[in-house]
Chain A
Amino acid sequence: GDSVTQMEGPVTLSEEAFLTINCTYTATGYPSLFWYVQYPGEGLQLLLKATKADDKGSNKGFEATYRKETTSFHLEKGSVQVSDSAVYFCALSALGDGYNKLIFGAGTRLAVHP
Chain B
Amino acid sequence: EAQVTQNPRYLITVTGKKLTVTCSQNMNHEYMSWYRQDPGLGLRQIYYSMNVEVTDKGDVPEGYKVSRKEKRNFPLILESPSPNQTSLYFCASSFRQALGGYTFGSGTRLTVV
Contacts and interface: CB of A to CB of B under 8 A. Distances in A.
Contacts of A99: 31, 48, 50, 96-98
Interface residues on A, range: 20 to 34
Contacts of B97: 99-100
B101 A46 contact: yes
A93 B31 CA distance: 14
A71 interface: no
Contacts of B45: 101
Nearest to A42: B106
A46 to B, nearest CB: 4
B96 A98 contact: yes
B40 A49 contact: no
A104 interface: yes
Interface residues of B, number: 26
A97 interface: yes
B99 A46 contact: no
Interface string A99-114: 1111011110000000
A89 interface: yes
B3 to A, nearest CB: 10
A46 B102 CA distance: 8
A81 interface: no
Given A44-B104, A49-B101, A101 B48 contact: yes
B42 A106 contact: yes
Given A44-B90, A44-B104, A97-B56, A106 B41 contact: yes
29 contacts: A4-B42, A34-B101, A36-B104, A42-B106, A42-B107, A43-B104, A43-B105, A43-B106, A43-B107, A44-B92, A44-B102, A45-B104, A46-B100, A49-B100, A93-B101, A97-B56, A98-B50, A99-B31, A99-B50, A99-B97, A100-B94, A100-B96, A100-B97, A101-B98, A102-B92, A102-B101, A104-B43, A105-B42, A106-B40
